[in-house]
Each structure stands twice: as C-alpha cells, then as structure tokens.
Amino acid sequence: MDRIKLSLVLLCVTTIVGLFVCVESRPQHNLPYENEELARIYMKDLDKKFSQALEETVNAQWIYNTNITDYNLEKMVEESQKYYKFQKTAWKDTILFKWEGFKDEFLKRQFKKLSVLGTAALEDDKLEKLSLLQAKMERTYSTATVCIRDKCNLALEPDLTRILASSRDYEELKEVWLKWRDAAGKPIRDQYIEVTKLGNEAATGNGFSDLSEMWLAPYESETFRDDVESLWNQLRPLYQKIHAYVRMKLRDIYGDKMPKDGTIPAHLLGNMWAQTWTSLLDDLKPFDKPSIDVTKKMQELNWDAEKMFQVSEEFFTSLGLIPMPPEFWEHSMLTKPKDRDVVCHASAWDFYNGKDFRIKQCTDVTTEQLITVHHEMGHVEYFLQYKNQPVVFRDGANPGYHESIGWPDTKLEDYLEA
Ligand SMILES: *[C@@H]1O[C@H](CO)[C@@H](O)[C@H](O)[C@H]1NC(C)=O
Ligand SMILES: [Zn+2]
C-alpha cells in the first residue's frame, strides 16, 4: 500500500480565475494536461463558472430586450464584454489539455466544443463595437414605426402585423411592406455591413474561411450543403404545387394585380416576411372544407395571452412533457407593455441556472400567434429536457434541431372545439 502511495505525485493546474486544482497521479503520467482525472475536475469547475457567466449576460440581454433604454443598452454591452473576456480566458486554459487522448467520450466532447472560441476570437475593441452595433440594430428594428394612410405611429406588432393578416387591399399591403422596410431596414444597412465584416473576421480567427462556414460547422456534416440541396429537391415538387395553388387562389382576390411570371408578391402572404401563410387559411382552404382559423373563436371566448400559453402548456403536458416552472409564469413577458419600448420579436430564453426559463412575446389573439406560442414553448420544453447537462451541451444538437423541436404539429381543430 505504502509503496504505491509513495509512487503517486501531485499534479496541479491553475484554472481560470486562479483556482488551483490538483490530483494524485502515477509518475509516468506526470504531465498535468494529459491527466484525465485532473481534466474532469477542471471541466466541472469550468462548467459552474460558465453557467454563472452566461446567466449574467443573458440577464442583461433580457433586461434590454424587455425595456429598451440607453442605460440598459450600456449595461448589456458591458456584460457581453465581461462574458467574452471570460470565454477567452477559459479557452486559453482549455486548449492546454491534451484531451484527444482521453477515454471518456462525454468529457472529450466538452473539451472539443470548448476548444472553438467563436466570436470572442475578435480583439476587445472589435468585440465591443460588434455588441454595440447589434444592440443598436435591434433597437432600430424593434422601435420603427410608420404612417399608413391617415394613421401614424404604427409598429410592426401589433399594428402592421394585423394589417398584413387581415387587409386584402393590394395597394395598402404594398405600402405597409415598403414603408416598414424603409423604416426598419434602410437605417441599419451600414451597421449590417459592418457586423458582417466583423463576423467574417471572427470566423477567420477560428480557422474558418468565413462566417457561413462557422455557422455550418455545428451540423458536423462534410456534405451539409449537398444534404440540404437533396432535401430541397425532394420537397420541391410539393412546394411548387402549393405555390401554384396559392397563386390561383390569390388571383381570385387580386385579379390582374397578380404578376404573370409565376411569382407571388411577398406582401400578399399575410406575414411581413412571407414566412408563414397562416393568416390566409380561410382564403386558401380547398373545396368546402370547414375553417380551421381559430382567431374569431378565441376572441369570442375572450381568450387572452395567458390563456393561450395555458392551453399550449396543456398540449405539451398531454404528451407527457414537462410543465412550465413557476418562474416561467412569474417572469415571462407575454404581452406588449404600454409604458416602454421592447423587442417584440417572439423568443424563448434559457438563463442557464436550471430554474429560470422565459418567453418574451407581444402576444396578439390570433391563430398565427397561437402557433407561435406553441413554437416558443417547444423551445422551453427542450431547455427543460437538457437543463441538467453541462453548459456546453445545453443547446440544440445542432442549430436546426431547436427549431424543429419548437415546431409541434399544433392541431388547430382541437381549439375550435374548446
Ligand atoms: C426600464 O429601465 C430603466 C433604466 O434605464 C429603469 O429606470 C426603469 O425602471 C425600467 N422600467 C421597467 C418597467 O422595468
Ligand atoms: Zn424558434
């Protein structure tokens, strides 16, 4: 016994923020950064610090996103600087380890993920510039208002969204589409170009050829572009039929205003980005199928945002998934506040403390928004499933995966019978 004990040596490394960790080891493995046990202790410690650092920066983002002021912008940029700095230090420590030779795949993967620095690879002044630009773009985009005909101060949510969903006046829709882009898009053009440059610079700092390569890396497929192309080719025949059908239906409404080149003007699809066509459900339904647009029904029943989130939660718990925690109901922002500017674009938030999960949405009582409620709550369901994982794993298996989890097949018919 004693002989073995005597033959052990103490291996130590200094981790981020000066923490000193040591393990006993056999002398033949006496390079600390090759010692898997030591690496495990290091990673556990780093994980704790990472979640604290993330929680702080996410919290500052939440405050800005739900209350756009100069002060909150400054705080948010300050916090992201702190976070980037932490990331850089942690990265420098992490890459010292010779993790490729470790046996534990779980541990190896954490090292692998953390050895890609990402945006923080930029120099400090560029990081600050990037944070500021992003915050300002967000502000412009979120606070833009326009005048349509005799009404002014119209915001994207709810005013312009409502017009796009309900108006069938070609010229009015076009005016909304154009004016909102003039107000929200044109002023951020130069900033966007700047952000793109910085993004590409960060990517090359990580050994990627440009930002798009860095974005595709998490999919871990050498053939990702071809994979997508091949999926699209499978989908295209169906998409083209739907497109032609919708064009035909829209011709019934807009007549000769419809172009003859087989395209659909983006402002006619009921959504600012022509992204979902839900608002046209009744105009597009084939034959004499009953309507599945629940907007009127919800309004008749006096549903509000809270109720929409409750039925969404029931949907998920009926599948055996996890109810929203009390903190969700306490801290989420489910309607647009009247007393301040906010970023209305719906989003789901993980605060990385295992407790705090929130949604921010300027919920309007419409079918489209009911689907969005389910979508955002789908993200929270995913957060809840992986909340006990190490921080590096508290993310989608790949960036697309989160969106697919957050896209349950909402059965609108069920809500018509409510
Ligand atoms: C919004 O932020 C400001 C700080 O810029 C603060 O004084 C104010 O109380 C906040 N409002 C709300 C409703 O949180
Ligand atoms: Zn989403």
- Calculate mean pLDDT across residues 239-265: 97
* pLDDT computed for residue 287 by the predictor: 87
> How far apart, in whole angstroms, are the C-alpha atoms of residue 198 and residue 192?
10
Q: To test the ligand 1 pocket, which listed residue (77, 340, 342) has its Cβ within 8 A of the most ligand atoms?
A: 340
Output the DSSP codes for 332-344.
Answer: -B-S--SSS----
Q: Which atom of ligand 1 is nearest to the CA of 72?
A: 5
- For the chain, what is the mean pLDDT? 92
Q: To test the ligand 1 pocket, which listed residue (67, 71, 341) has its Cβ within 8 A of the most ligand atoms?
A: 67
> How far apart, in whole angstroms, are the C-alpha atoms of residue 19 and residue 45?
9
Distance from the alpha carbon of residue 336 to the mean position of ligand 1, in angstroms: 15
The residues pairing with 24 across neighbouring beta strands, listed in sequence order, are 10
The residues pairing with 11 across neighbouring beta strands, listed in sequence order, are 23
Q: Which atom of ligand 1 is nearest to the CA of 71?
A: 5
Contact (CB, 8 A) for 101 and 39: no
Distances (CA, A) of 353 to 82, 256, 380: 18, 57, 14
Distance from the alpha carbon of residue 67 to the mean position of ligand 1, in angstroms: 6
Query: Going by CA atoms, what residue is nearest to atom 5 of ligand 1?
Result: 71
Distance from the alpha carbon of residue 308 to the mean position of ligand 1, in angstroms: 27
Contact (CB, 8 A) for 403 and 374: no
Distance from the alpha carbon of residue 152 to the mean position of ligand 2, in angstroms: 31
Q: Which atom of ligand 1 is nearest to the CA of 67?
A: 1
pTM above 0.85, yes or no: yes
pLDDT per position as a tens digit, 337-380: 999 999 999 999 999 999 999 999 999 999 999 999 999 999 99
Q: Which two tokens stand for residue 152?
A: 């002014």
In this model, does residue 165 exceed pLDDT 80?
yes
* pLDDT computed for residue 1 by the predictor: 40
* pLDDT computed for residue 3 by the predictor: 42
| Confidence band, pLDDT 50/70/90 cuts, at residue 4 | very low
* pLDDT computed for residue 280 by the predictor: 96
> Cα angle vertex 215, ends 211, 220, to 5°?
135
> How far apart, in whole angstroms, are the C-alpha atoms of residue 113 and residue 395?
12
The environment of the single-atom ion ligand 2, i.e. residues with CB closer than 5 A, is: 403, 406
Reading phi first (left if > 0) and then psi (alpha if -120 to 50, else beta), residue 389 is in: beta
Distances (CA, A) of 73 to 65, 95, 195, 357: 9, 33, 17, 22
299 vs 410, higher pLDDT: 299
What percentage of the chain carries pLDDT values higher than 90?
85
Q: Which two tokens stand for residue 236?
A: 């295209």
Q: What is the 3-state secondary structure (H, E, C) of 86-102?
A: HHHHHHHHHCCCCHHHC
> How far apart, in whole angstroms, are the C-alpha atoms of residue 402 and residue 244?
31
pLDDT per position as a tens digit, 79-135: 999 999 999 999 999 999 999 999 999 999 999 999 999 999 999 999 999 999 999
In this model, does residue 28 exceed pLDDT 80?
no
Distance from the alpha carbon of residue 71 to the mean position of ligand 1, in angstroms: 9
In this model, does residue 301 exceed pLDDT 90?
yes
| Least distant ligand from the CA of 372 | 2
Query: Nearest-CA neighbor of 146 among 186, 187, 188, 181?
Result: 181
Query: Going by CA atoms, what residue is nearest to atom 3 of ligand 1?
Result: 69
pLDDT per position as a tens digit, 319-328: 999 999 999 9
Distance from the alpha carbon of residue 74 to the mean position of ligand 1, in angstroms: 13
Residue in the structure block whose two tokens are 């967000």: 138
pLDDT per position as a tens digit, 219-239: 999 999 999 999 999 999 999
| Confidence band, pLDDT 50/70/90 cuts, at residue 24 | confident
Q: What is the 3-state secondary structure (H, E, C) of 258-273?
A: CCCCCCCCHHHCCCCC
